[in-house]
Structure 1
Amino acid sequence: MERTGSIDKKTSLFMLTWPIFIELVLQILVNNVDQIMISRVSENAVAAIGNVNQIMNVLVITFSVVTMAATILVSQYLGSKRYNKISEIYSVAVFSNLAFSIVISIFLFLFSDSIFALIKLPMELLADAKLYMNIIGGGIFLQGNFMTYAAIFRSNGLMKQGMYISAMVNLINILGNFILIYGMFGLPKLGIAGVAISSVVSRLIGVIVIIYMFKKKIKGNVSMKYMFPFPKATFRRLMVIGLPAGGESISYNASQMVILTFVNMMGTNIVKVRSYVTILAWFTYMFASAVSQANQIRVGYLMGAGEEEEASKMVLGTLKPAVISSIIIAALLFLFSDSLLGIFTSNKEVLQLGKLVLFIDIFLEIGRAFNMVLVRGMQAAGDIKFPIFIGILSMWIIATFLAYIFGIGLGWGIAGVWIAMMLDECIRAVIFYIRWKKGTWRNKALI
């Protein structure tokens, strides 16, 4: 089998980053465009979608456990020029996420009422949230499939394919929203149901296209023949890598669910503030996330080739563009917050609180940029367990516990919640930076 992509220490970080960045922005827009477009019909629907998206983010992390492990493992195999078992890894990743998605869909169908009660969703949001989650949850297997194939493309150094397909998915989603929300071409006005249906249909088309491109572009196969007899060793290896590597994200999103419960206790206006600020905050750290993902693949190749010193320099060199971009974008969002938040609402209380939270978010994003680059670097190097250990401690003891103390106990509201999350990100950033500089991650390559 020949290598499909070509990544080494001479590969430009920018050339790997910009397609991932655009792809991530476009993927996020599928959900955020839903909220922006439905805001013209109902502000409550925006808050309902925001709650459902937070729930879905926790569950979708299940897919990232497999995709992250496959990315790391394939990158190191390709970096060491060992091409055996690549097709088996692809197949196990795809079919494992398909199985997980079926379990998640059943879970959402059976326990949606319990989930909404657990996070204390305001009653006026319940009907919209249930309708949206039932439709989106039924199509969650599409998201799992797309994430898996996109990870395979990235591991092979092919970044642009995911970007092109995400652009197509967004255009289809926007067109579908216009048609189904407003009842164009004689169709009924479906409102929030139309938004959900449009998202599912656009993702279905995206999955069909990315599977077709995989068959054309990637040297390797996804086939059931690799699943019989079941490759226990490969699945176990993906889980050994993926569960701790994905554990940091799982812990973060689970803690966010608890924090969301605190926010829901503060009233519908505060829920709206969180939903709107979260939409804007996505754009702050998308570039840092893209940089960290691109660098993770480069580090994986270098670790596979035994070039640890070069990997160390790459991670430290990646911090600067990630942090600077986050500061600039977060500052711009704060400066233009009235206009940006005005896209969603004219409520003065929401606008004032949103502006305050976006100011605090500037400092939060500095810590988050450090964490994304350093954690992904450690994962690619095989230093899997330390980030999840520190992440669990910090996210729950600092972010979650202090969010309750500051937000509810001291009465600081949504600002107190954001201060707690900012402290969590910044404290972890210091710990991870010290660990990387000390070189504790060395000699931990996975193959």
Structure 2
Amino acid sequence: MMNSQPRKFTLWMLAWPIFIELFLQFLLGAADTLMVSRISDDAVAVVGFSNQLFMALTTLFITVSSGAGILIAQRIGSRKNEDARTIAIIAVKVTALIGLVLSLILYIMPTQIAAVLQLPDKLLPLAKVYISIVGGSMILTAIMATLSTSIRSTGNTKGPMYIAIAMNVVHVILNYGFIFGEFGLPQWGLTGVALSTVISRLLATIVLLFMFLNAFERKINLADFRIFDNKLFKEVLKIGWPLAVGLSAWVFSQLVIFSYIAMLGASELAARTYMNTLESFCFMLGQSIAMALQIQIAHMYGAGEYRKAYKSVFRALWIAELIVLMNAFVIYLFGGKVLGIFTKEPEIIAMGVSLLGMNLVLQPGKMLNMAFGNSLNAVGDTRFIMIISLTVTTTVGGLMPYVVGIHWGWGLLGIYGCMIADEYIRGVLVWLRWKQQKMIRRAEQGTAGQRESITATGGNASVAKA
């Protein structure tokens, strides 16, 4: 009989530090948006557009970091701590290399990339500044993501939370200084915001690295970064590449949607950027539960607690749905006033309020999708997520917004309606897949086969001995 999981792998113990970290990231984004709005709505549009681009490009190293995170949790669950340690080291090295390549591309070609993605010409000078500086530090983003994921997968979700607190404080202070010329800093506007982002990420990466070196049972030394295990890396890729392809389909659909919105105008682009800030607040606690659920289920799955893993999702889902709906409703009630803090343009505020009404419908579908999608990822069923992302997200979430929003002339509301349909269709499909219990039953059969083999071997040995 398997022992119950350690207390640090309970859903609440995993989720609350992740929530605080996400909440601080939200505050960081809100502070960014609020401070940048003091420069101009055009600057806000550029930051929102650029962040979508950066998010799309992170999928290139998510292949390794996410696959590694799932395997680390599974290996720790099955008490193979040395394997977990080796996987983490490999992941950091590979993602750092990918991040370096992305940094060089974004630093050298910021204007060309923004132009290809249909950013309005008047915004290109601002985009050149922001993309070249923040995009040029993608190596830090890559390393941070992998270090945080590896540390969380060991059950330590508090460490990344503390670092997020410090990073937010540094970032907000530097933002204020660079935008308004305070604390003896030059008044550099959007350039200062970009530099503030890079500096805070650099400091966070350094601290995360020290925490990472002590994250496993046996301390990691710098000499250990020479380690590379082909077999373990193939396992990471086996889980990670479908995960990354599926995620990239969604992220690139969001990037394409931003390019559609850019066709509508700078006001619509600014409205969507403000909306992103409020929407992220709605989903923070739900997302933290979904992320914690993935770590917990991967650990249970690795420990052989298959039935427990299966049932855990349903208990967590209803709590998360209620929380997400309550958050969305509160934001809808006060959304107009909140938007008024960011901008005084009546047109932008009106568009934002309309989107907040639709957000009430979006969030439950998004939670359904995240809960079961993360659970499937945790047990290694990442190819199914990839298939539905490539089919549903690229059509309903990527192509249909152009037809409905641009071709049919329904504008921003039509585009958002397609985003809602995408979340619900994928949510229902991953729910049905989880109900089939394919990976759970396969694992149970494998465990039963191993027991029979051990019993048979033991029986034969007894006969031979007699």
Residues 86 and 220 of structure 1 are in contact (CA less than 8 Å); yes or no, is this contact kept in structure 2?
no
- Report the equivalent of 2:150: 152
| Separation in 2, partners of 1:229, 1:211 | 17
| Range with bigger deviation, 83-92 or 16-25 | 83-92
Code of the residue aligned with 1:406 in structure 2: it is V
Report the Cα offset of residue 226 of structure 1: 4.6
Cα deviation digits, residues 119-145 of structure 1 (max 9, x gap) = 210122111111011111122222222
Report the Cα offset of residue 58 of structure 1: 0.6
Report the Cα offset of residue 83 of structure 1: 2.2
- Report the equivalent of 2:92: 94
Report the Cα offset of residue 223 of structure 1: 5.0
TM superposition outliers: structure 1 runs of 4+ over 6 Å: none
- Report the equivalent of 2:323: 325
Residues 30 and 199 of structure 1 are in contact (CA less than 8 Å); yes or no, is this contact kept in structure 2?
no
Q: How many residues align?
A: 442
Describe the shift of the 1:444–1:95 C-alpha distance in structure 2 as closer, same or farther (beyond 3 A): farther
Code of the residue aligned with 1:249 in structure 2: it is L
Code of the residue aligned with 1:70 in structure 2: it is A
Please tell me whether residue 419 in structure 1 is matched to residue 417 in structure 2: yes
| Separation in 2, partners of 1:321, 1:289 | 12
- Report the equivalent of 2:10: 12
| Separation in 2, partners of 1:121, 1:166 | 31
Describe the shift of the 1:51–1:14 C-alpha distance in structure 2 as closer, same or farther (beyond 3 A): same
Please tell me whether residue 172 in structure 1 is matched to residue 179 in structure 2: no
- Report the equivalent of 2:189: 191
Report the Cα offset of residue 440 of structure 1: 2.5
Could you tell me which of 243, 246, 253 is aligned with 1:245? 243
**SS of 1:129 mapped into structure 2:** helix
- Aligned counterparts, 1:52-201, within 5 A: 52-201=50-199
| Separation in 2, partners of 1:379, 1:443 | 15
| Separation in 2, partners of 1:16, 1:41 | 38
- Report the equivalent of 1:335: 333
**SS of 1:377 mapped into structure 2:** helix
> Normalising to structure 2: TM-score of the pair?
0.90
Code of the residue aligned with 1:365 in structure 2: it is Q
| Range with bigger deviation, 237-246 or 261-270 | 237-246
Code of the residue aligned with 2:75 in structure 1: it is Y
Residues 94 and 222 of structure 1 are in contact (CA less than 8 Å); yes or no, is this contact kept in structure 2?
no
- Report the equivalent of 1:3: none
- Report the equivalent of 1:436: 434
Report the Cα offset of residue 192 of structure 1: 0.4
- Report the equivalent of 2:234: 236
| Separation in 2, partners of 1:173, 1:113 | 25
Residues 91 and 223 of structure 1 are in contact (CA less than 8 Å); yes or no, is this contact kept in structure 2?
no
> Normalising to structure 1: TM-score of the pair?
0.94
Report the Cα offset of residue 8 of structure 1: 4.6
Residues 177 and 184 of structure 2 are in contact (CA less than 8 Å); yes or no, is this contact kept in structure 1?
no
| Range with bigger deviation, 208-217 or 82-91 | 208-217
Cα deviation digits, residues 321-368 of structure 1 (max 9, x gap) = 221121111111111111111111111111111111111111111111
**SS of 1:265 mapped into structure 2:** helix
Code of the residue aligned with 2:58 in structure 1: it is V
| Separation in 1, partners of 2:5, 2:59 | 27
More helix by share: 2
- Report the equivalent of 1:290: 288
| Separation in 2, partners of 1:67, 1:423 | 29
| Range with bigger deviation, 368-377 or 246-255 | 246-255
Residues 108 and 132 of structure 2 are in contact (CA less than 8 Å); yes or no, is this contact kept in structure 1?
no
Could you tell me which of 276, 297, 300 is aligned with 1:299? 297
Describe the shift of the 1:313–1:182 C-alpha distance in structure 2 as closer, same or farther (beyond 3 A): same
Code of the residue aligned with 2:294 in structure 1: it is Q
- Aligned counterparts, 1:298-447, within 5 A: 298-443=296-441
Cα deviation digits, residues 371-412 of structure 1 (max 9, x gap) = 111011001112111111011111111122221121112211
**SS of 1:382 mapped into structure 2:** coil
- Aligned counterparts, 1:259-278, within 5 A: 259-278=257-276
| Separation in 1, partners of 2:42, 2:434 | 44
Describe the shift of the 1:176–1:9 C-alpha distance in structure 2 as closer, same or farther (beyond 3 A): closer
Report the Cα offset of residue 231 of structure 1: 2.5
Describe the shift of the 1:444–1:363 C-alpha distance in structure 2 as closer, same or farther (beyond 3 A): farther
- Percent identity of equivalent pairs: 33
Report the Cα offset of residue 9 of structure 1: 8.4
| Separation in 2, partners of 1:275, 1:237 | 38
| Separation in 1, partners of 2:169, 2:134 | 18
Describe the shift of the 1:444–1:134 C-alpha distance in structure 2 as closer, same or farther (beyond 3 A): farther
